[in-house]
Structure 1
Amino acid sequence: MNKKETVFVVSDSIGETAELMVKAVASQFFGKEVEIKHFSYVEDIQDINNVITNAKYSPSIIAYTIALQDLKEYLDHRALEEGIMAVDLMHPLMDAFAQTFDMQPSLQPGQMRKLDENYFKRVEAIEFAVKYDDGQEVRGLKQADIVLIGVSRTSKTPLSMYLANKQFKVANVPLIPELPPPQELFQIPRKKCVGLIISPEKLNDIRRERLKSLGLTNAANYASLERIFEELDCAQNIMKKIGCPIIDVSNKAIEETADIILAMFNKRGSFAQ
C-alpha cells in the first residue's frame, strides 16, 4: 500500500502563509490537496526533532517559514541527515529584499501577525457579519458599514461574508410581507443601506433548486411565482420608503455585486476607511 504524499508545514508562527503556498503548488501536480500536517509555533531544537521524527517515515516534504537563523540551519541539517526534502519558503525572498533594498531583516518570529492590522479587522468584520446575519440583533444595524436588505435567496449572506473579507462590517435583513421591517432600518443613514432585487423567474429557479436540495416539493408556497411577486413588490416598496439604492442581482456574481456596492460607497465617501 502506497503511503500518502505528505507535506509538513513548519513555522515559528501559525503557518498559514506556508500552507497557502503548499496548496497552490500541490494543485499543479495532483489536482487536489496533498495531506498537510502542521507544526506551528516551532521555537527550539526539540520541536525540530519532533518534525523530523514524523517526516522520515513517509514520502514527505518539509515546507517551512522560520525566521531564526540557528533554528533554520538546524532544520536544514537534520533534514539532510535523514534524506528529507526541506524547502525554505521565506529566506530566499528575504535575501532578495536585503540585497535589493539594502536593508536587514529583524529575524523576529511572528512579525507579520504583529504588523498585519488588516487581519484583525477582517476577523472582526467576519464576526460582525455572522452576528448580524439574516436580521439577527437588529440593534446592531447602526454599527454596520453596510446594511443589505432583500427577499430570501438574493445572496445577502454570501455577499455579506464577501464584503466582510474586505474588512467591512455588514449586516443583512430579510424582507418578508408578513413581518414589518425593523424600525432601525429607517433610523440609519440611507446611504448605508443597499436593496437587492432579482427577477421573479430567476428567483423561482433558485428557490425550486433550494427546495429540491432539501428534498421538499416544488409546489411549496416558497417557490410559487405568486408568492415571489408578492414578496418582491413588498420589498421594493420598503426600499423606496427607505430611499436606498437598489441593485438587480439577477445575473450578477457575488464579486460583481460587491464591486458595484464598493464603488458606489467609495464615490459617496461613505467609508471612513
Structure 2
Amino acid sequence: MSDRIYIISDGTGQSAMSIMRAALLQFDKPDAKFTVYSMVDREEQLVSILNHAKMDYSFIAYTMVSKGFRDIVRRFCAENGLKSIDLLGPPLDSLESYMGKPQLEKPGLLRKVDEKYFKRIEAMEFTLTHDDGKLMRGMNEADLIILGLSRTSKTPTSFFLAQQGFKVVNIPLVPEIPIPEEVFKVEQHKVVLLVMDPEVLQKVRSARLRHYKTTSNYNNLPKIFAEVEFCYELIRKNRKWSMIDTTNKSIEETAREIIHTVYGRDMEL
C-alpha cells in the first residue's frame, strides 16, 4: 500500500509540498500520495482534517503560523499515534528567541509578497513592450502614460516606476508628429508630460551628440525652446494632464513626484 501524506496549511501548502517531495527523493519508493488542505483557518475545520488523517493513518506535514493550531496538531498526533512534522513552527520559534519579539501569527503574508513580486514582473514586461511608443495596443491597462521630449528621462523613469509595480506607457513628443489618438481615449488624469529647462536640455542633448558624427539640429537652443513651448501648449489644451519638470532631478525624485501628482501623497513608492 502506498504511503499517504496529509499537507495541512493556513496558506497554499506549496512550501510543505516542495519540502516533502525533496525528502521523498531520498527513498527507494517515493510514491506517496498527497492530500493537500490549504487555507485552513478554523479550529473545527482543522479537527475534521485530523480525524480524516487518523482514519487513513497518514503522515502529517503542516505549515501553520498560529501557535494554537500547531498545538492542536501536535497534541492530536501524540494522542492518536500519528507521525507528523511541523515544518514552520521550529524556525518561527527560533527566530522569535533570536529577535526578541513575538511572532505576528498572520497567515497569508507570503502570498502577499508573492503577489507583489508577480505584479512587478507583469508591470516591467508591460512597460518594456510599451517603451518609446513601440506599442499603443492595451494602453487602457496602463497606470501611467508618460509623454516627454527627447532626453527628459522618459524611459529610465518608466522602468523605475515599473519596478514598483506600475504599468507605464511612454511616448516621445515631437512637435511635427501627431500624438497617437489612443492617448486621448484613456483616463486623462493618468497622462503625465515631462519637460526640462531648455538650456539644461540642450546640454544633455549636446552630451548625447558627442557620441555621434552628425550635423543634426537636435541640440539647437531655439528649436528646444519651441519644443518646450509646444509642451506648455499641450497642457493648456489638456487640463487633466500633469506636467513634471525633470530639470536636475534624479529618476527617483521624478517618479515620486509623478505618483504623488497622479495618485496623491498617500501612495508611496
Q: Which residue of 1 aligns with 2:246?
A: 249
Query: What is the deviation of 1:224?
Result: 1.2
Query: What is the deviation of 1:92?
Result: 7.8
Q: Which residue of 1 aligns with 2:80?
A: none
Q: Which residue of 1 aligns with 2:225?
A: 229
What CA distance in whole angstroms lies between the structure 2 residues aligned with 1:192 and 1:170?
10
Q: Aligned partner of 1:220: which letter?
A: S
Instruction: Determine which of 161, 164, 171 is the counterpart of 1:163.
Output: 161
Using a 3 Å threshold, how does the CA distance of structure 1 residues 102 and 186 change in structure 2: closer, same or farther? closer
- 1:142-174: CA deviations, max 9, x gaps? 211111111111101011001111101111111
Q: Which residue of 2 aligns with 1:193?
A: 191
Query: What is the deviation of 1:103?
Result: 8.3
Q: Aligned partner of 2:95: which letter?
A: A
| Kept in 1: contact 2:161–2:168 (CA 8 A) | yes
Q: Aligned partner of 2:129: which letter?
A: K
Q: Which residue of 2 aligns with 1:258?
A: 255
- 1:77-109: CA deviations, max 9, x gaps? xxxxxxxxxxxxxx98872237743689x9xxx
Instruction: Determine which of 171, 181, 190 is the counterpart of 1:183.
Output: 181
Query: What is the deviation of 1:232?
Result: 1.8
What CA distance in whole angstroms lies between the structure 2 residues aligned with 1:94 and 1:220?
67
| Kept in 1: contact 2:147–2:170 (CA 8 A) | yes
TM-score (norm 2): 0.58
* Aligned-partner SS, 2:138: helix
What CA distance in whole angstroms lies between the structure 2 residues aligned with 1:252 and 1:198?
10
| Kept in 2: contact 1:176–1:235 (CA 8 A) | no
* Aligned-partner SS, 1:101: coil
Percent identity between matched residues is 41
Q: Aligned partner of 1:229: which letter?
A: F
What CA distance in whole angstroms lies between the structure 2 residues aligned with 1:177 and 1:140?
24
Q: Which residue of 2 aligns with 1:97?
A: 96
Using a 3 Å threshold, how does the CA distance of structure 1 residues 116 and 97 change in structure 2: closer, same or farther? farther
Q: Which residue of 2 aligns with 1:66?
A: none
What CA distance in whole angstroms lies between the structure 1 residues aligned with 2:104 and 2:182?
53
Q: Which residue of 1 aligns with 2:60?
A: none
Q: Aligned partner of 1:183: which letter?
A: E
What CA distance in whole angstroms lies between the structure 2 residues aligned with 1:116 and 1:197?
36
Query: What is the deviation of 1:114?
Result: 8.8
Query: What is the deviation of 1:238?
Result: 2.2
| Kept in 2: contact 1:149–1:172 (CA 8 A) | yes
- 1:22-57: CA deviations, max 9, x gaps? xxxxxxxxxxxxxxxxxxxxx57999xxxxxxxxxx
| Kept in 1: contact 2:242–2:262 (CA 8 A) | no
TM-score (norm 1): 0.57
What CA distance in whole angstroms lies between the structure 1 residues aligned with 2:248 and 2:131?
23
Q: Which runs of 5+ in 1 are unaligned?
A: 1-12, 14-42, 48-90
* Aligned-partner SS, 2:137: helix
- 1:102-158: CA deviations, max 9, x gaps? 689x9xxxx958951111000000001101111121232221111111111110101
Q: How do residues 17-56 of structure 1 correspond to structure 2 at under 5 angstroms? A: 43=22
Using a 3 Å threshold, how does the CA distance of structure 1 residues 136 and 93 change in structure 2: closer, same or farther? same
Query: What is the deviation of 1:234?
Result: 2.0
Q: Aligned partner of 2:102: which letter?
A: F
Query: What is the deviation of 1:193?
Result: 0.6
